[in-house]
C-alpha cells in the first residue's frame, strides 16, 4: 500500500504545482498589493479661459443681409466671407446664424451652415418686419451629446433688413417670352381664320369616318349609340365629348337616323339632352327628337358597363361612339361592340385605356386628337386658330429642345438655360 502511495506522490505534487500556476494566472488581483497599485483615476481635462481663447476662431467678415429677390416675401439672404480659420483641420466646425428684432439683442439662432458655406436663407422672416443678423463661427467639442467646451467668433451686427414681395420674377423672363410667342401665334391664326384664309389641319381618321359610320347605320336601318364616358361635366374629356356629340347628332338627324345617348351622370344627361335637341333643330327636324334618346342609367361604374353591354346585345346598333373618360370598363364595352359587328369610333385621353380601344375599335382618337376634334368638326375660326397656334408652340419648343441638345454637346448652354424655371 505504501509502495503505491510513493508511486503516486510525484504525480500529485506535479498536479498541485500546475493547479497553483493556473489559479494565479486567472486571478492576478488576488495577490496582496497596496490599494494604490490597482486603482487608476481617470484623467480630468481642465478647460479654462486660456484654453477657450486659444480655440476661439476668427469671426467671418463682410456679412451682408438682403431681401431675397424674386419671391413672395418672407425670406432674407445672409452672405459672408469665410473665417480665416475655416480650413481643413481648422478651428471652425460650423456657422450659426443669429437673428434679433433689435441691434442690442437678444439674438436667437435661426439656423446653421457647415464649414465652407458662406450663405444662408432665413425663410421665417415676417414681411415688412426689420431684423438684425449676426454670423457666428463656432468651434466646440462634444461628449455624450453635450458640449464639453465651446468657443465662438461673432461677426458685427448687420441690419436692419426686411423682406418684401416682388411683383415680377426676373428668373422667369424667358417664360414670359415663350408665352408671348405662343399667344401671339394663336391670335395671328385666329385672325387668319376669320379673314377667310385656309388653315391646314391634319386629317383625323376617326373624325373623317363619322359620316361613313352614320351612313352605314342609315343604310342598315339601325340606330347609333354614343357613350360619353363615366366622368361628370367637370372633366375636360367630357366637355370635348359633348362637342363631338353635337356634330354626330346633327349628321344623324340629317340622315333621319336615331341616336341614343346612355349616360351615368345627371349633369351629363342634361347637357347631352340639350346638345342632341339643338342638333335636331339645326338640322331642320326638331320634331324627330325624342326625350328618351338621352337616358340616365346608373352612377355605378360596372353597373353602367353592364347596362351598356345589354343595350348593345339586344339592339345591335350599326355604329358605336365611345368618346370621353373611360377606365376599367373600356374593354368590356369595346369588346361587346366588336362582337356584334358594329363600326366603332373611340377616343379618350386616358393612356391606360388607349391600347384596349386600339385593339377592339375601328378608329381611335388618341390623346389630344380628342380635344382637336371639336375644332376639326366645327371649323369655328377661334377654335381653329387656337389649335393651329398651339401646334406652332409645340413645334417651336420641340425645335428649341433639339437645337439646345446639339448646342449642349458642344459646350454651349445658353439656349438650354432659357428653359430653367427657379
Question: Is the predicted pLDDT of residue 22 greater than 50, yes or no?
Answer: no
Instruction: Check: pTM over 0.75? Answer yes or no.
Output: no
How high is the pLDDT of residue 24?
43
Q: Where are the beta strands (DSSP E) in 26-88?
A: 61-67, 76-81
Task: Report the share of the chain in percent with pLDDT over 70.
Answer: 88
Residue range 332-361: mean pLDDT, rounded:
94
- Percentage of the chain lying above the pLDDT 90 cut: 48
Structural domains of the chain, ranges and CATH numbers in brackets:
49-161 (2.60.40.10), 210-361 (3.40.50)
pLDDT given for residue 170 in this prediction: 80
Residue 245 pLDDT > 90: yes
Q: What tens digit of pLDDT does each residue of 395-404 get?
A: 998 998 899 8
For residue 73, what are the CA distances in angstroms to 19, 68, 140, 169?
A: 84, 8, 35, 12
Q: With 0-12 CB in 10 A as exposed, 13-18 as middle and 19+ as buried, what is 275?
A: buried
pLDDT over 70 (residue 35):
no
Beta bridge partners of 151: 139
* Model confidence at 8: pLDDT above 50: no
Handedness of CA 158, 163, 164, 166 (dihedral sign): positive
**If pLDDT is split at 50, 70 and 90, which confidence band does 20 have?**
low
Indicate the pLDDT class of residue 196, thresholds 50, 70 and 90: confident
Lowest-pLDDT range, 22-31, 135-144, 405-414? 22-31
**More reliable by pLDDT, 1 or 358:** 358
Amino acid at each position: 500500500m505504501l509502495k503505491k502511495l510513493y508511486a503516486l506522490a510525484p504525480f500529485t505534487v506535479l498536479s498541485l504545482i500546475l493547479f497553483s500556476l493556473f489559479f494565479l494566472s486567472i486571478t492576478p488581483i488576488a495577490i496582496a498589493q497596496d490599494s494604490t497599485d490597482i486603482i487608476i483615476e481617470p484623467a480630468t481635462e481642465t478647460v479654462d479661459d486660456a484654453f477657450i481663447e486659444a480655440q476661439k476662431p476668427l469671426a467671418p467678415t463682410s456679412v451682408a443681409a438682403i431681401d431675397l429677390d424674386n419671391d413672395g416675401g418672407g425670406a432674407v439672404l445672409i452672405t459672408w466671407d469665410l473665417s480665416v480659420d475655416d480650413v481643413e483641420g481648422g478651428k471652425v466646425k460650423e456657422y450659426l446664424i443669429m437673428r434679433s428684432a433689435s441691434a442690442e439683442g437678444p439674438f436667437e439662432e435661426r439656423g446653421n451652415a457647415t464649414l465652407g458655406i458662406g450663405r444662408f436663407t432665413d425663410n421665417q422672416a415676417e414681411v415688412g418686419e426689420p431684423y438684425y443678423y449676426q454670423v457666428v463661427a463656432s468651434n466646440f467639442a462634444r461628449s455624450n451629446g453635450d458640449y464639453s467646451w465651446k468657443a465662438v467668433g461673432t461677426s458685427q451686427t448687420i441690419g436692419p433688413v426686411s423682406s418684401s414681395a416682388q411683383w415680377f420674377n426676373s428668373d422667369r423672363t424667358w417664360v414670359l417670352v415663350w408665352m408671348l410667342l405662343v399667344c401671339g401665334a394663336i391670335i395671328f391664326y385666329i385672325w387668319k381664320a376669320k379673314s377667310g384664309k385656309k388653315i391646314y389641319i391634319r386629317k383625323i381618321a376617326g373624325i373623317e369616318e363619322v359620316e361613313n359610320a352614320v351612313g352605314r347605320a342609315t343604310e342598315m336601318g339601325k340606330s347609333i349609340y354614343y357613350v360619353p364616358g363615366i366622368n361628370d361635366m367637370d372633366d375636360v374629356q367630357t366637355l370635348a365629348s359633348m362637342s363631338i356629340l353635337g356634330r354626330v347628332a346633327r349628321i344623324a338627324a340629317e340622315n333621319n337616323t336615331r341616336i341614343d345617348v346612355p349616360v351615368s351622370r345627371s349633369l351629363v344627361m342634361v347637357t347631352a339632352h340639350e346638345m342632341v335637341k339643338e342638333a335636331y333643330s339645326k338640322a331642320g327636324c326638331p320634331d324627330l327628337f325624342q326625350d328618351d334618346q338621352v337616358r340616365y342609367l346608373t352612377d355605378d361604374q360596372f353597373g353602367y358597363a353592364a347596362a351598356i353591354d345589354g343595350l348593345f346585345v339586344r339592339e345591335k346598333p350599326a355604329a358605336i361612339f365611345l368618346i370621353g373618360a373611360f377606365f376599367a370598363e373600356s374593354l368590356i364595352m369595346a369588346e361587346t361592340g366588336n362582337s356584334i359587328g358594329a363600326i366603332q369610333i373611340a377616343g379618350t385621353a386616358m393612356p391606360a385605356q388607349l391600347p384596349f380601344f386600339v385593339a377592339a375599335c375601328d378608329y381611335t382618337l388618341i390623346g389630344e386628337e380628342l380635344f382637336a376634334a371639336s375644332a376639326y368638326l366645327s371649323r369655328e375660326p377661334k377654335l381653329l386658330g387656337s389649335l393651329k397656334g398651339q401646334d406652332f408652340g409645340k413645334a417651336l419648343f420641340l425645335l428649341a429642345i433639339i437645337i439646345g441638345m446639339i448646342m449642349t454637346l458642344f459646350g454651349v448652354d445658353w439656349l438650354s438655360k432659357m428653359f430653367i424655371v427657379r
